Amino acid sequence: MKEMITELCPNCGTEVEILWDITIQGYMTKCPCCGKRLMLCSECGHTACDYDQSTDLCRRVVEAMWMELSDIPMEAPDSEEELFAESFTLCGIAFPAGITKIELLHWFDEHHPIGVYYLLYEFERTAPLTAANVS
């Protein structure tokens, strides 16, 4: 059910009011004034917030990105490591064409507070969230 949500955009300082359904649309949108990412942190309700203002990411956004990753095709040229042939965007963050699987795993390891091991081996068994209600 959509409800009116008010959030202050950290990028342009505008107080934004939007009609939003967190369960369907998630905790992230774009500011209608400046167009930059707007996190709906006031609606999150998680007591252990790990939002990092320098990266504009939190654990839940990185996990939503991880879930979106399964939809992106990879190529495995003969005797080379797997790579992403085309550029792609996950939750508003762009990755270049040619990035390897290992490079991307390092990115997730650096940006997830628990690390890529958790995403690879624990996340899907323990996560009640879906990409739709996080991103």
pLDDT given for residue 125 in this prediction = 63
The set of residues, in sequence order, having a beta carbon less than 8 Å from that of 69 and lying 6+ positions away, is 90, 104
65-113 confidence digits (pLDDT tens): 898 888 888 888 776 788 998 999 888 789 999 999 999 999 999 999 8
| Residue 38 reports pLDDT greater than 70 | yes
- Percent of the chain scoring above 90 in pLDDT: 37
With H, G, I as helix, E, B as strand and everything else as coil, classify residue 131.
helix
